[in-house]
Amino acid sequence: MQLKTILNRVEKQPSFVYESMRFIGGGPDSPDMAIEVAVRPRANSRPRCSGCGQTGPGYDTQQSPRRFEFVPLWGIAVFLVYTMRRVHCRQCGVRVEAVPWASGKHHLTDSYTWFLARWARRLSWKEVAEVFHTSWRKVFRSVEQAVEWGRAHQCLDGVEAIGIDEIKWKRGYRFLTLVYQIDAGRRGLLWVGENRRTKTLLRFFRWFGRERSASLKFICSDMWRPYLNVVAKKAAQAAHVLDRFHIAEKMSTAINEIRAQEARELKAEGYEPILKNTRWLLLKRSENLTEKQEPRLAELLQYNLRAVRAYLLKEDFQFFWEYRSPYWAGQFLDRWCTRTMRSRLEPLKKVARSLRSHRALLLNWFHAKGAISAAAVEGFNNKAKLTIRKAYGFRTYRAMEVALYHTLGDLPGPPVTHRFC
Ligand SMILES: [Zn+2]
């Protein structure tokens, strides 16, 4: 069987013919081996204009052939070699032709682009570049192209629930705003924006469109004021839900503050360092503790410490989420807030005050139950953090944005006759 037969099987080009193949390199002066496949247009096929996509009469042929990198075979690079024609287009004038195996001015064939982009979902971009003997830049360009295609062809119909989340990136206080679809049946990252200002979220709604925004039923977010304002303005009909994940985060921050402060005081007064290394004991959900941690926590709870009281209040709050009826959940919330306000635990009182002032949005959670995928925001938040952490090579915002869409976007790809990976 010839290579030509395989090529015609995996990637047949109706208007073009695979011709001669040759093997280059492998010698001492050029150790990189490659297979070059000459391609020519089928007799009396007309070139297609790269401006408008219409076929037209040929004008002339370019001087030197172009090399398009194809999916490697057995670790050997494969290139399609083709001399581009120019087309005399009625609309666009004289233009270089469009070829079906590559987009625009890219030197990679579309098949290779999708091949690299698919691998970039499983490995880091650096690893993909290493494994396939290519450059980081080419992997990035491939992922970018896949993301652009996916975003242009993505179906945004029927989005009823979205989650808005913010994530720190880079050192210092730089934020990204991420918007996810969190419908029970379908989820994915919809949009990424730099910063977390009013303007940032307004840009999302402009992109999403007025009609689609008007059919949103649930919007999950945290208590960040600019988000609350924009949602109230742009999707007033949707039930705005303060979600469990973001509230748990706020409580954890408060507890940690109380614990750290108290640990410092105990040390200053010369007590035993009982609060040392207890951060995760107090922050983890009790069912997630390890066998070693459990007795340590039990011991710690015997002390009358502010950190312990804060921990117990946090644990108690978990019951809130178990309610079915918004009414009884509201009663529970009020009692919890009253108790916390009497606790003299300032950071936790701050949380209680803010829960009180957003009572209605909190109770919306119980109306949304079942319609939204509750753990989705938390899951996405973890994955996004991981993507950002893995992405130490990303110096630019663009690279970061592309990586997030690629890993979390659930974006479609084009229909293909053969999947190379
Ligand atoms: Zn044209």
Three-class DSSP category at 39: strand
Distance 97 CA to ligand 1 centre (A): 9
How many other CB atoms are there within 10 angstroms of residue 141's CB atom?
18
Residue 391 predicted with pLDDT over 70: no
SS (H, E, C) 132-182: CCCCHHHHHHHHHHHHHHHHHHCCCCCCCEEEEEEEEECCCCEEEEEEEEE
Distance 355 CA to ligand 1 centre (A): 60
pLDDT attached to residue 236: 93
Q: Say what percent of the chain tops pLDDT 90.
A: 60
Overall average pLDDT of the 267-292 stretch: 80
Tokens linked to 36? 């070059």
Distance 11 CA to ligand 1 centre (A): 26
Instruction: State the Rg of the chain over Cα.
Output: 29
Convert the pLDDT of each residue in 22-31 to its tens digit. 998 877 777 7
Distance 51 CA to ligand 1 centre (A): 4
| Number of residues that make up the chain | 421
Distance 102 CA to ligand 1 centre (A): 17
Overall average pLDDT of the 299-327 stretch: 89
| Strand partners of residue 38 | 81
Overall average pLDDT of the 302-318 stretch: 89
Question: 142: pLDDT confidence band, cut at 50, 70 and 90?
Answer: very high
Distance 26 CA to ligand 1 centre (A): 42
Question: 72: pLDDT confidence band, cut at 50, 70 and 90?
Answer: very high
Distance 88 CA to ligand 1 centre (A): 8
Overall average pLDDT of the 69-93 stretch: 94
Distance 276 CA to ligand 1 centre (A): 72
Distance 57 CA to ligand 1 centre (A): 11
Overall average pLDDT of the 93-120 stretch: 93
Distance 54 CA to ligand 1 centre (A): 6
Tokens linked to 355? 């829960």
Distance 107 CA to ligand 1 centre (A): 21
Distance 45 CA to ligand 1 centre (A): 16
Residue 379 predicted with pLDDT over 90: no
Distance 403 CA to ligand 1 centre (A): 34
Q: What gap in Å lies between CA 253 and CA 73, rounded to an integer? A: 53
Which H helix or E strand runs over 218? strand 218-221
Overall average pLDDT of the 41-49 stretch: 92
Distance 43 CA to ligand 1 centre (A): 21
Residue 397 predicted with pLDDT over 90: no
Distance 189 CA to ligand 1 centre (A): 36
Q: What gap in Å lies between CA 285 and CA 382, rounded to an integer? A: 17
Query: Amino acid letter at 352?
Result: A
Q: What gap in Å lies between CA 243 and CA 365, rounded to an integer? A: 7
Q: What gap in Å lies between CA 29 and CA 14, rounded to an integer? A: 38
Q: Which of 86, 102, 85 is nearest to 13 (CA)?
A: 102
Which H helix or E strand runs over 327? helix 326-341
In angstroms, how far is CA 164 from the centroid of its own chain?
13
How many other CB atoms are there within 10 angstroms of residue 222's CB atom?
19
Q: Residue 4 in contact with residue 18, Cβ under 8 Å? A: yes
Convert the pLDDT of each residue in 146-201 to its tens digit. 999 999 999 999 999 999 999 888 766 789 999 999 988 889 999 999 999 999 99
Tokens linked to 116? 């690299």
Distance 145 CA to ligand 1 centre (A): 23
